[in-house]
Amino acid sequence: MGIKKGILKDLTQKELQEICSRYKLKGFSGLKQSELMQFVCENLEAPQEEIQSIVNTLREDKLVNKISDSADYFLTKQIHILYGDKAFIKANVGGYEVKIENLGKENFNYSCDEKCQDWIYQVKKGRYPFCKHYPAVLAQLIFEEQINVDEVRPNYIEGKVLSALISLVEKRKKEEGLIFPTGRQIEERSKNIEEDLLKISMQDQILARDKYHEVAEMAFETLVGDAFQLIEFETIPKRKTIGWDLLILGSLASPPFIGVVECKTAADGVHEQVLRNPNYLQRLKEYCIDLKEKKLVGTLSNYLKYMVIVAPGFPLEVTSLCGPFSQMSAGIKLSFFPVKSLVKLVRTFRDNPIITHSMIERVLWRGSIITEEDIDILLRGASDHISDLLGKCRKVLREKMQGVLHRITDSSFIKLDSVLFQDMLKAVLAELEPDIVRSGKKEAVGVETISIMHDYYNIWRPVLEGLVEEFICILKSESEQRVKRTELKEEILRLLELG
Ligand SMILES: [Zn+2]
């Protein structure tokens, strides 16, 4: 028994609780850390090696968390390599000075700033091998291609910890547009949302730990961010532990809009806290006002229009909060997004990406609970919208062509000069604006530009197919009612008559 206690000694209260629920022990709730430890030692019937391996996993996850924490510096570009060769590296990480000697070698050594609490109380005392400032430097060096990933392996960065560091670097590259997620990654993320989002939202700690290496609350925030990305929203995850969880940018709408997202997990799926705790709404309002009035300026501040709470489910009464929230937050609309509806929206969009940000915005503007039925309505609306778009485009094409056909003198060819042709194309594109096309001007030279929205390729498909069909129809009817002679025939006739 004494040995078990030795293994458990570094675990926090939360981690001990996690072990209890993993082994389905009863009667541990409300116990303090030391009592919990005693409780686990007395009640847990499991082989020593098995417990050791769980403890190792928890420890490894803590290191992974340090990598996540280093993102605060790395993603916000607060790391400056002051000096760097393999033997000695000196860096400034958000005001903390980090020194690394002999990276990748056995005589490796690193030290952090004397004001780093983690370094003084955890690393120096041997509880953990590094503070969050160390992986921040490594991430920066890998990002700058000063070192490759294999070189960090020997110095505490291996397995899951290494994967976390690599994904952090990739995240920055993605944010800076240096790499794009592949089709396979998109599929994998969709599958995770489909299979896990609801369970994680209902605090399935074991799934969160085993698959996402985090507590359910954190894994939930990450997955909700992924869900919005899969419907083509750009997202900005929070950088600090307090404040809003996620910003979503509806950049494909015209004008774009911004939503503040709050992610709430709950074991039972219903939120007492939202309804009964007036401070809760007050706090959300403060996040919005702080962003709107202090952080975002000018037009950007006008884009911030929505507050969205994502949770496993909501009682119907929450809708009574939407009006008051909007009043106290200078018009910001509050919506409740149950996880099942969000999962359905992701699935519907991935199957057929035709629901646009503008359409989603209309649902947010309503300020209510977003139901699964709303998603069905969105999809139907999106199909109708495509029919409308197509109808307008065909009409414009027909009218423009008709105008040209009046003037032709030759029965085999429809002759257009490039001005007429451009005019026709522009008229058709104008019908598609702003849904899937944006026109603008290059400021310096004044050349007109056309921006094509590739994310909505499934709207383009029926529109282009419809236009092709219309075009063929016009050609066919011209061909059938050919009455005039070709210029070639006219010419020959003229010569024959002359002869
Ligand atoms: Zn440090």
Instruction: Reply yes or no: is the peptide bond before residue 255 cis, omega within 30 of 0.
Output: yes
pLDDT-based confidence at residue 278 (cuts at 50, 70, 90): confident
Look at residue 1 in the predicted model and tell me its pLDDT: 47
Which residues make beta-bridge pairs with 311?
338
Tell me, in angstroms, the distance from the centre of ligand 1 to residue 174's CA. 26
20 occurs within a structural domain: no
Distance CA 2, CA 189 (A): 43
167 occurs within a structural domain: yes
Please check whether residues 391 and 345 belong to one and the same domain.
no
- C-alpha angle with apex 11: 5 to 17, nearest 5 degrees? 95
Tell me, in angstroms, the distance from the centre of ligand 1 to residue 132's CA. 6
Contact indicator for 255, 298 with CB cutoff of 8 Å: no
Tell me, in angstroms, the distance from the centre of ligand 1 to residue 71's CA. 13
Contacts of 429 (CB under 8 A, 6+ apart): 437, 439, 450
pLDDT-based confidence at residue 268 (cuts at 50, 70, 90): low
Please check whether residues 290 and 210 belong to one and the same domain.
yes
Write the pLDDT tens digit of every residue in 398-443: 998 888 777 665 667 777 788 888 888 899 999 998 888 888 877 6
**In 3D, which of 305, 284, 412 has the Cα closest to residue 366?**
305
**In 3D, which of 63, 52, 89 has the Cα closest to residue 156?**
63
pTM of the model: 0.74
Tell me, in angstroms, the distance from the centre of ligand 1 to residue 75's CA. 17
Tell me, in angstroms, the distance from the centre of ligand 1 to residue 70's CA. 10
Tell me, in angstroms, the distance from the centre of ligand 1 to residue 32's CA. 29
Tell me, in angstroms, the distance from the centre of ligand 1 to residue 101's CA. 15
Please check whether residues 173 and 186 belong to one and the same domain.
no
SS3 (DSSP) at 339:
helix
Last residue of a domain, one of 178, 203, 218: 178
Please check whether residues 144 and 203 belong to one and the same domain.
no
SS3 (DSSP) at 107:
coil
Q: What domain range is 115 assigned to?
A: 47-178
Distance CA 271, CA 265 (A): 9
Please check whether residues 228 and 364 belong to one and the same domain.
yes
Tell me, in angstroms, the distance from the centre of ligand 1 to residue 315's CA. 44
CB-based neighbours (< 5 A) of ligand 1, an ion: 112, 116, 119, 131, 133
Write the pLDDT tens digit of every residue in 162-217: 999 998 998 888 777 676 667 778 888 999 999 999 999 999 999 998 888 888 98
Write the pLDDT tens digit of every residue in 354-390: 999 999 999 999 999 999 999 999 999 999 999 998 9
**What percentage of residues in the chain have a pLDDT greater than 70?**
94
Tell me, in angstroms, the distance from the centre of ligand 1 to residue 72's CA. 13
75 occurs within a structural domain: yes
- 429-444: buried (b, 16+ CB within 10 Å) or exposed (e) per residue? bebbeebbbbeeeeee
Please check whether residues 174 and 186 belong to one and the same domain.
no
30 occurs within a structural domain: no
Last residue of a domain, one of 147, 178, 209: 178
SS3 (DSSP) at 78:
coil
41 occurs within a structural domain: no
Burial of 406 (0-12, 13-18, 19+ CB in 10 A): exposed
Please check whether residues 148 and 187 belong to one and the same domain.
no
Please check whether residues 134 and 195 belong to one and the same domain.
no
429 occurs within a structural domain: yes
Tell me, in angstroms, the distance from the centre of ligand 1 to residue 178's CA. 29
User: Residue 275 corresponds to which amino acid?
Assistant: L
Mean pLDDT of 305-314: 94
**In 3D, which of 376, 283, 266, 270 has the Cα closest to residue 317?**
270
Tell me, in angstroms, the distance from the centre of ligand 1 to residue 108's CA. 17
Please check whether residues 89 and 149 belong to one and the same domain.
yes
Tell me, in angstroms, the distance from the centre of ligand 1 to residue 96's CA. 7
Tokens standing for residue 40: 């686990």
Last residue of a domain, one of 126, 144, 178: 178
289 occurs within a structural domain: yes
Distance CA 175, CA 77 (A): 12
23 occurs within a structural domain: no
Distance CA 291, CA 305 (A): 11
Integer-rounded Cα Rg, in Å, for the chain is 31
CATH number of the domain within which 282 lies: 3.40.91.30
Please check whether residues 227 and 338 belong to one and the same domain.
yes
Q: How many distinct structural domains can be found in the chain?
A: 3
